[in-house]
Structure 1
Amino acid sequence: MERKDDEIRLGVNRYSERHNIGTTAQSDDRDYQEPPLAPLFEPEELSSWSFYRAGIAEFIATFLFLYITILTVMGVSKSSNKCATVGIQGIAWAFGGMIFALVYCTAGISGGHINPAVTFGLLLARKLSLSRALFYIVMQCLGAIFGAGVVKGFQKSQYEMLGGGANVVASGYSKGDGLGAEIIGTFVLVYTVFSATDAKRNARDSHVPILAPLPIGFAVFLVHLATIPITGTGINPARSLGAAIIYNKDHAWDDHWIFWVGPFIGAALAALYHQLVIRAIPFKSK
């Protein structure tokens, strides 16, 4: 017992919190390099091919994301016997699995956002410039529209009859319920993105950058399991917009604001929580 107490005291002394609340978690002797804050506007990047290549990567990734996931939703919706399809669990796996694969493929090019809410959260944390964030969001939305459009092209009558994968608040739930589900669901996703790409963890755990797409995809999977019965799970304004535009029925637009306001609030809360609490990034100078 005495030996165990000594080990506990050693651990406390070795890993104690050495920083004042509200200042910074980045001491001069840190063993990692914090990336510099991105400028609000960077004119030079507008003439760089890498800037447009990143936007194209976001377009293609979101296009593929909508194509696979909406087809999965349609396959479940058109079946009279849910046991003969992948069901809600399969839909959740399709969304989470595609995010895992696409983040893995595009992380080195654009960061693998594939979601305006993720882009917005990273913008608030100054991980990318405003010009890049706006470009990403436009390309993500265009990719989503094209992805849903291709699905409708394959099965137009069934697409319109079965809802086209559009996000709506389910019967029995209020708009407040839907908004809350979108806020919390997006918070889980964006918080996971921040944690999986944290510079401090990347420096100390060499495997973290390689495995980052896995927890992000798994977070999407879990959120879908929880909120598909409530809103069909948006947590991605581009995904919701693409399906709503191609489906284009009144009830798909009635609650559409929820799928922008909710994810953006959730992303902002996740960014603030991670930056100010988890990482204790300074909000006042030393």
Structure 2
Amino acid sequence: MKKAAAEFIGTFTLVLFGCGAAVIAGMGTGATSIDVLGISFAFGLSIVAMAYGIGKISGCHINPAVSVGVFMAGRMSASDLITYVIAQVLGALAGAAVLYLILSGKASGWDGGLGQNGWGTDYLGEYDMTAALVFEVVATFLFLVCILGVTQNGAPAHLAGLAIGLTLVVIHIVGINVTGVSVNPARSLGPAIVGAASNPGALAQVWLFIVAPVIGAAFAGVLFRKGALLDAGDE
């Protein structure tokens, strides 16, 4: 239960602050607005904060794809995987719900956006489905290579949270205009479900942000399990 609670809180934080930066600060003007770099750091720094806050309790996955990668690498049980995924999805839903309540208090109203992921015409850079799929698979794979690499035996554990957070920053800098960046099925599900009434298109496209990250994460996990990416001292 401690692990589930930690994963819930961590995913809640990621969605509230990451997506919140995109839709609250991102839609401001002048001094109240941030750009792609600011949004990228909001997601990355949320990971850093939670890594040091809950890392010793649950490992700070706060992402079903990460849990799948860790499971495929042979580092967690199937029962823990199920527990983690449920807690992460519930945390993302709660984070999106709180963000919805906050945005509902804006006097001039807002367009109903909650930082949903997507692709195609009228979505940010208007990249097609193939580009979105390729980006999400590859970015999640590389994200898991970082995570599994910095948490293996002999790695400098005290720097793991910083390395993982900065990797997520880079992924967002490159990918925000492609898909809004998911690499995390829970992060995509929360805003898509809570904001379905105002943006049903995001819910219709959310399948890609479940399938692609899981594929990328599973591939990275298998490589570590087979020893292809293990440190020489762990072989």
TM-score in terms of structure 2 length = 0.89
Q: 1:164 to 1:177 in 2, by over 3 A?
A: same
Shift of residue 162, structure 1, vs aligned partner? 4.7
Shift of residue 84, structure 1, vs aligned partner? 4.8
Residue aligning to 1:279: 230
Q: 1:228 to 1:265 in 2, by over 3 A?
A: same
Residue aligning to 1:198: 152
Shift of residue 230, structure 1, vs aligned partner? 0.5
Shift of residue 254, structure 1, vs aligned partner? 2.3
C-alpha contact 1:122 1:271 (8 A) present in aligned 2: yes
**Structure 1 residue 184 corresponds to structure 2 residue 138:** yes
2:195 aligned residue (240, 247, 252): 247
Cα distance in structure 2, aligned partners of 1:162 and 1:149 = 12
Cα distance in structure 2, aligned partners of 1:167 and 1:77 = 15
Larger Rg: 1
Cα distance in structure 2, aligned partners of 1:98 and 1:84 = 20
Please provide the CA RMSD for this pair. 1.9
In structure 1, runs of 5+ residues without a counterpart are 1-51, 203-207, 282-286
C-alpha contact 2:148 2:224 (8 A) present in aligned 1: yes
**Structure 1 residue 166 corresponds to structure 2 residue 120:** no
2:103 aligned residue (155, 159, 162): 155
Residue aligning to 1:95: 43
- Which aligned pairs between 1:80-159 and structure 2 lie closer than 5 A? 80=29, 84-156=32-104
In structure 2, runs of 5+ residues without a counterpart are none
**Aligned length in residues:** 223
Provide Cα deviations, 1:167-187, integer angstroms capped at 9, x if missing partner: 111433211111111001111
Q: 1:88 to 1:273 in 2, by over 3 A?
A: same
Counterpart secondary structure, 1:109: helix
- Which aligned pairs between 1:187-266 and structure 2 lie closer than 5 A? 187-199=141-153, 201-202=154-155, 208-248=156-196, 249-266=199-216
Residue aligning to 1:66: 15
C-alpha contact 1:99 1:217 (8 A) present in aligned 2: yes
Shift of residue 160, structure 1, vs aligned partner? 5.7
Cα distance in structure 1, aligned partners of 2:46 and 2:40 = 10
Letter in 1 for 2:203: W
